[in-house]
Amino acid sequence: MFSFVHKCLLLFSPEIAHSLGVFFLKIYQKLLVVFSKHNCRPAFSLKKGHSESLVFPNRLGLAAGFDKNAELFVGLSRFGFGFIEVGTVTPEAQEGNPKPRLWRVEPEGLINQMGFNNCGLKSFQNHLRRLRPFCSVPVLANIGKNKTTPNERAIEDYQILFKGLVNDVDGFVVNVSSPNTQGLRELQSVEFIEHIESAAPRKPVFVKLAPDLDSEQLIQLCRKVNESPRLSGIVLTNTSRAIAQRDYEKDQGGYSGEKLFERSLECVAVARENLKDGKCIIGVGGVNSPERAKKMLSQGADLIEVYTGFVYQGPKFIKNISQELSNQSFELSF
């Protein structure tokens, strides 16, 4: 049934297809919740002496931006994901950029300039509180600053989100790499990582970086993460402005999918060489087959995520990858 619905969705323009997908997922999820007699949430977070650890039942997650408002993750988790990233959420609700802002491009790629359209912290929190007891995998919140917040005050937005969500999620991803919020990528700096380290709660916290950084910048940021005991690791990568410009002559937006894989893989390899043991890498970008998933893991990613591959290939693709990865679990100490 899911394959049929997925094929039909691809007949529509990308943002309408997404809205229809959200509609069907909400119905599916409602049925799951109504027929769950009790909470099915196992304990992921384990106390181990003075430290804690978070257990991921398998290494394949859903990347940020699909469930922007944290209202679909219970349904999505049943497709076989080992964890789900929800968001990006900002303190206040915002509409994002004017439409059209999402395009399909050949081969198996997307260009988006959504601009953090989301329901804001309050509603996001309500959704999580209602649904999280029914979710059987860890949920990470991807957090960002509002468009109207200047960079000098950006840390305040991240502090509000850490504080507001700390009891509702299993970890955080700090998004400083979307190409669609003006100036956001300037926060990919050693100084801003210091601010994040000071604000981070006692939960796994990752920093998400762009594929358009050069290797020297990436190495510097890895060194800073090494010096930051509260940071668990890095998510590599967000969408690429460089590929959107070079191959599709788009001056705005970020490219995801097929062609991103090579650069994301390179970033993961550089990060693995420069991050110390115990720091975790979530590899994302152009993973659209079990072979690519395995390659990302062999280059040093501990966990992987997909977005565009899932959009093009549907739920079956998730089952295939997680089966190929033998549903191997992963334990993250923090």
Ligand X SMILES: Cc1cc2nc3c(=O)[nH]c(=O)nc-3n(C[C@H](O)[C@H](O)[C@H](O)COP(=O)(O)O)c2cc1C
- For binding to ligand X (CB under 6 A), which residues are involved? 63-65, 68, 88, 102, 110, 112, 114, 116, 142, 175, 178, 208, 238-239, 256-257, 260, 284-287, 306-309
- The residue among 319, 257, 331, 334 whose CA lies nearest residue 60 is 319
Measured from the CB atom, is 125 or 178 closer to ligand X?
A: 178
Helix (H) or strand (E) holding 240: none
Contacts of 144 (CB under 8 A, 6+ apart): 87, 88, 89, 90, 116, 157, 175, 178, 181, 184
Query: Quick check: 164 and 157 in contact, CB under 8 A?
Result: no
Q: Is 178 an active-site residue?
A: yes
Least distance in Å: CB of 170 to ligand X?
17
Per the residue annotation, which of 77, 177, 178, 228 is the catalytic one? Answer: 178
Measured from the CB atom, is 102 or 160 closer to ligand X?
A: 102
The end-to-end CA distance of the chain, in Å, is: 40
Least distance in Å: CB of 31 to ligand X?
26
Least distance in Å: CB of 105 to ligand X?
11
Measured from the CB atom, is 102 or 119 closer to ligand X?
A: 102
Measured from the CB atom, is 128 or 134 closer to ligand X?
A: 128
56: β partners: 330
- Is residue 199 left, alpha or beta, with left meaning phi > 0 and alpha meaning psi from -120 to 50? alpha
Helix (H, G, I), strand (E, B) or coil at 249: coil
Q: Which residues are catalytic?
A: 178
